[in-house]
Amino acid sequence: MQNQFKINCGAIAAVLALAAPGVVHADAAKDLGVAGRALTFLENGPAGKATLGVVFDPSKPASVAEKNALMAALGSGYAAGTLTLVGKAIEADAVGGAAGVQALFVTGGVNYGAVGSAAKGKKLITIGSDMACVRSGACAMGVETEPKVSITVNRATAAAVGASFKAAFRMMITEI
Amino acid sequence: MNKTHLLAGAAAGLALAAALPASAQSIDYGSLEQLFGEPVTTSATGSPQRSTEAPADMQIISADEIRRSGATNLQALLQRVAGVDALNSSAGQTDVNVRGYNQISSPRLLVLVNGRQVYLDHYGMTIWATIPVQLEEIRQIEVVKGPNSALFGFNAVSGVVNIITYNPQFDDTDVVTARVGTNGFSQGSLVSSFKLGEALSARLSVGASRQDEWDRVGTPVTVDQVHDPRAVTANLDAVAQLGASTTLRVEGSWANVQESLMATGTSYSVAKAITNSEKATLTSDTRFGTIQAQVYQNQLTAKYAIAGGINWENTITVASLQDLFKVGTAHTFRVGAEYRHNTLNIAPMNTSDVSYDVVSGSGMWNWQINPKLATTVALRVDKMSLERSGPFLPRSPNANNALWDRDISKTSANATVAWRPTDADTFRLSYGRGVQPPSLIELGGLELPIAAGPMTLDLVGNPRLKPSILTNYELAYDHDFAPIEAKLGVRLFQQDWKDIKTSISTATLDFFPTLTTNGGFTQINGLDSKAKGVELTASGKATPELGWRVDYTWTEVKDQPFAGVNTVLRNVAFAQTTPKGRGNIGLDWVKGPWEADANLHYVGDYQFYHMVGGLLAPVDAHVSLSGRVGYKMENGVTLALAGQNLLNERQKQTRGLEAERRIQFSVSKSW
């Protein structure tokens, strides 16, 4: 009985271990799709090919895993509506020196307060899937895909980086 | 509004656009749908909303559903919508209404194409074949149930059918289709999108169809009362980017239709309808919100082979201005103003006109109180000023143009509270007050003398008619069983109708003859009526390939005729002519290049006006099956076999011509 329990636990653990990266990857791709399409509703936003900085904390395994999943989804170019996104991994403490990116995706676990301040200095729109980042004002836009797509925009932060969304888009999202 | 000036202004705007950079400002339904993972609609409030969050009872027919259905016309698609009633009276014509109160030449449904009314405004009815769209260019059909005239204005009383076509600025739609079928059916259409410079996009569509009329066997209908339905339509839709924040959309259409129409429920006549339309819409995102200015004109020539030939020329011009804006983070407002001028010749003498001007003001306020609770309120006030000019029939009982010098002012309202206690549950409580004004024919567009022995009696319009008012109360509940990909919906509704307008009855004189005037007949406000009902819907996915849907709507109508009014003789016996039950069971299946769809449509027992004498006679409950099987090849060619009324060679669905089984084979190529 005990052996059977161990086998079952082992099997479940193996399944979870195999499944976990896939789950992270799938969620990251969904977040990326929503974030990328949302960027197409920016007034004077990026068009054609744009570089998305993926901000991560190398000391946080979850942040690194999300970064890896996002970069894998971005691949050599991720099509989101009329926009093709390419990725550039950026360590959190290097955001102030980041160049050649049009937007930042802040992974979970990152000290988003510092990242948000650096992004405002560079007039870069910040996107994250952690709503606490949006509520704090560090992220201009938050995206959720479960149980359904939901987008939240912090109007003050968006205004601070010069981001203005089209009217039709604003009617369909949550603004705080 | 002068048609030449309208087109010249639009052409100037398009010319200006050719050199400016492209940037999307008008609503890109496709991108928003892909972003949010569900259809987007503007039909509930005027602002874009997810279909599941719109504060209105709405069902959307998607482009995929249209293609899979195998339907060859719009009215066949609408019969698949829960709660929709359809009177299939001939091969080409169906009268459609929502949740009962359907009748021949049904005047209570507002039908729009991209916001332009396409019902025929001489009577408020819809001849579906005149609508100048091909099924392949429709992005979605939004069916709003219940009164919504606070947003859309006149005729949005029983519901709104808003047909949204692809926008050539965002959607590249190119498809050619040919269909042939039994009973002489043939249909062809072409839809082609193209770019003229970076800032100018356009889509052209043309289509033609014909089929044999249903057989006259078993009815008193004579050969001269019917005509094989034929239609030719064309439409041009062009969008120009006038600047980073401004677009101009110009649409023009033409249709020529000839078919049999049931008239007043007891006879048929051949009708020919030629329609033209021109429309220009300027939309701009400004610091004050999204401002939209729109002007359009519809022209109708309608010829009926009755009483020696009746020809109506109807022109309606509509100009509107609206601003949609958000205040703070939780409040969305829409304010608007509209002017319309509607004019009709008085047939058959054609020396006089009846017309009206309408000035309207409207407002909408949507308040997202918190993430789970939202409320929407809309109000609209219309002032309609009526006028008649020209001579009367000799000895007419209404021979005084001053009778038409009157104003009608009415208020429409909609209010909804939506509560979403969980991500899976939505409750919605709504109130609607809709206004159905009299049509120009009812107000005087017909002055027809008829011989009655030694006397002459006149059929005339009634300038004293009051608008009919519908008040609707509804409680709706929706549950999303996400783990099993299924949805359930329940609606409880109550309708209170006031001052319903009747048809003319020649059984009772409305004007008694005098020494100087003939006796006569006219339309009157003849009854109040109440209806209550329940609508149940469920849909889901049994497997990734197999979808299912079920709906059933039960209604009970109680008429309250005014003193002396015989609702049967005046064709308003809605308690008897509304079936208590109607519903659908459907399946759809997609696998690789194959797709299939089947729909069983049920209509319960009801009574309808007998072709001889006009008294009520039963129409038994019936079930009809429609379906399609299609195969899409890699080169963009699709082959399909579709059919309607497949269970019976002939089926009595009204008291008129019997619906026939029809089967079509189609080939289409998209690129």
Task: Say how far apart CA B538 and CA B358 lie, in whole Å.
Answer: 41
Task: Say how far apart CA B437 and CA B523 lie, in whole Å.
Answer: 13
Task: Say how far apart CA B153 and CA B406 lie, in whole Å.
Answer: 20
Task: Using CB atoms, pick whichever of A43, A155, A171 lies closest to residue B332.
Answer: A171
Q: Which residue has the higher pLDDT, B238 or A165?
A: B238
Number of C-alpha atoms within 13 angstroms, CB side, residue B3?
11
Q: Which residues contact B465 (CB under 8 A, 6 or more apart)?
A: B438, B442, B443, B501, B523, B524, B525
Q: Which residue has the higher pLDDT, B347 or A2?
A: B347
Amino acid at B12: A
Task: Say how far apart CA B322 and CA B335 lie, in whole Å.
Answer: 6
Say whether B31 and A40 touch across the interface (CB within 8 A).
yes
Instruction: Provide the 10 A C-beta neighbour count for residue A164.
Output: 16
> How many angstroms separate the most distant Cα atoms in chain A?
65
**Residue B607: beta bridge partners?**
B618
Question: Are B109 and B161 a contacting pair, CB within 8 Å?
Answer: yes
- With CA atoms as reference, the chain A residue closest to B480 would be A147
pLDDT (tens digit, 9 = 90+) per residue, B24-33? 346 788 889 9
Q: Report the gap between the CA of A3 and the closest CA in chain B (Å).
A: 33
Confidence of residue B243 (pLDDT cuts 50, 70, 90): confident
A176 touches chain B (CB under 8 A): yes
CA angle centred on B477, ends B475 and B480, rounded to 5°:
165
Say whether B35 and A81 touch across the interface (CB within 8 A).
yes
Task: Say how far apart CA B315 and CA B297 lie, in whole Å.
Answer: 7
pLDDT (tens digit, 9 = 90+) per residue, B381-414? 999 999 999 999 999 998 999 999 999 999 999 9
Q: Which residue has the higher pLDDT, A6 or B213?
A: B213
A79 touches chain B (CB under 8 A): no
CA distances from B490 to B98, B100, B495, B552 (A): 16, 18, 17, 10
pLDDT, position A15: 42
Token code pair at residue A68: 């890896």
Write the DSSP assignment of B211-279 as a string of letters: -PPPP-TTS---GGG----EEEEEEEEEEEEEETTEEEEEEEEEEEEEEEEEETTTEEEEEEEEEEEEE
Token code pair at residue B565: 């009014």
As a whole-number percent, the residues of chain B with pLDDT over 70 amount to 96
Of B31-40, B83-92, B533-542, give the lowest mean pLDDT range.
Answer: B31-40
Strand blocks (E) in B502-636? 519-521, 525-541, 546-561, 581-591, 594-603, 606-609, 616-619, 622-632
Residue A91 pLDDT > 50, yes or no?
Answer: yes
Residue A8 pLDDT > 80, yes or no?
Answer: no
pLDDT, position B508: 87
Q: What residues of chain B have any CB closer than 8 angstroms to a CB in chain A?
A: 24-25, 27-28, 31-32, 34-38, 40, 47-50, 244, 285, 289-290, 324-326, 329-330, 332, 368, 371, 423-424, 482
- Residue closest to B299 by CA, chosen among B322, B317, B326, B276: B276
Confidence of residue B620 (pLDDT cuts 50, 70, 90): very high
ipTM exceeding 0.85, yes/no: no
Q: Hey, of A146, A148, A149, which one would you mutate to test binding to chain B, going by the most B CBs within 10 A of its CB?
A: A148
Say whether B24 and A176 touch across the interface (CB within 8 A).
no
pLDDT, position B634: 94
Q: Which residues contact B301 (CB under 8 A, 6 or more apart)?
A: B272, B273, B274, B275, B311, B312, B313
pLDDT (tens digit, 9 = 90+) per residue, B134-190? 999 999 999 999 999 898 887 899 999 999 999 999 899 999 999 999 999 999 999
pTM: 0.90
CA distances from B241 to A70, B7, B25, B286, B589 (A): 35, 17, 8, 15, 40
Task: Using CB atoms, pick whichever of A81, A149, A176 lies closest to residue B36.
Answer: A149
Confidence of residue B432 (pLDDT cuts 50, 70, 90): very high
pLDDT, position B18: 39
Question: Are B280 and B253 a contacting pair, CB within 8 Å?
Answer: no
Task: Say how far apart CA B567 and CA B505 lie, in whole Å.
Answer: 10
Percent of chain B as helix, strand, coil, to the nearest 5: 10, 55, 35
Phi, psi for B106 (deg, rounded to 5): -50, 120
pLDDT, position B386: 97
pLDDT (tens digit, 9 = 90+) per residue, B101-150? 999 999 999 999 999 999 999 999 999 999 999 999 999 999 999 999 89
Residue B15 pLDDT > 80, yes or no?
Answer: no
Residue B513 pLDDT > 70, yes or no?
Answer: yes
Task: Using CB atoms, pick whichever of A41, A147, A174 lies closest to residue B423.
Answer: A147
Q: What is the mean pLDDT of residues B529-555?
A: 97
Residue B530 pLDDT > 90, yes or no?
Answer: yes
Q: Which residues of B touch A81 (CB under 8 A)?
A: 31, 34-35
Q: Report the gap between the CA of A148 and the closest CA in chain B (Å).
A: 8
pLDDT, position B265: 61
Confidence of residue B46 (pLDDT cuts 50, 70, 90): confident
Q: Report the gap between the CA of A36 and the closest CA in chain B (Å).
A: 9
Across B34-70, b (16+ Cβ under 10 Å) vs e yields bbbebbbbbbbbbbbbbbbbbbbbbbbbebebbbbbb
pLDDT, position B86: 96
Write the DSSP assignment of B184-229 as a string of letters: T-EEEEEEEEEESSSSEEEEEEEEEEE-PPPP-TTS---GGG----
- Residue closest to B457 by CA, chosen among B385, B383, B525, B512: B512
A169 touches chain B (CB under 8 A): yes
Residue A5 pLDDT > 90, yes or no?
Answer: no
A97 touches chain B (CB under 8 A): no
A and B: number of Cβ contacts within 8 A: 62
A11 touches chain B (CB under 8 A): no
pLDDT (tens digit, 9 = 90+) per residue, B433-482? 999 999 999 999 999 999 988 899 999 999 999 999 999 999 999 999 98
- With CA atoms as reference, the chain A residue closest to B32 would be A169
Q: Report the gap between the CA of B665 and the closest CA in chain A (Å).
A: 35
> B401: helix, coil or strand?
helix
Across B302-315, b (16+ Cβ under 10 Å) vs e yields bbbbbeeebebbbb
Task: Using CB atoms, pick whichever of A37, A40, A168 lies closest to residue B27.
Answer: A168
pLDDT, position B285: 87
pLDDT (tens digit, 9 = 90+) per residue, B629-658? 999 999 999 999 999 999 999 999 999 999
Token code pair at residue A3: 């052996």
Percent of chain A as helix, strand, coil, to the nearest 5: 50, 25, 30
pLDDT, position B408: 95
Confidence of residue B10 (pLDDT cuts 50, 70, 90): very low
pLDDT, position A21: 39
- Residue closest to B577 by CA, chosen among B521, B531, B509, B522: B531
Confidence of residue A9 (pLDDT cuts 50, 70, 90): very low
Average pLDDT, chain B: 92
pLDDT (tens digit, 9 = 90+) per residue, A18-77? 434 334 444 777 888 899 999 988 887 887 888 999 999 999 998 999 999 999 888 888
Phi, psi for B568 (deg, rounded to 5): -70, -50
**Residue B110: beta bridge partners?**
B160
Task: Using CB atoms, pick whichever of A34, A41, A171 lies closest to residue B326.
Answer: A171
pLDDT, position B6: 45
Residue A14 pLDDT > 50, yes or no?
Answer: no
Task: Say how far apart CA B418 and CA B420 lie, in whole Å.
Answer: 7
As a whole-number percent, the residues of chain B with pLDDT over 90 amount to 82
- Residue closest to B48 by CA, chosen among B23, B67, B24: B24
Q: Report the gap between the CA of B36 and the closest CA in chain A (Å).
A: 5
Pair type for strands B662-670 and B230-243: unpaired
CA distances from B534 to A97, B477, B493, B551, B557 (A): 63, 12, 6, 11, 12
pLDDT, position B26: 62
Q: Which residues of B touch A169 (CB under 8 A)?
A: 32
Phi, psi for B440 (deg, rounded to 5): -65, -35
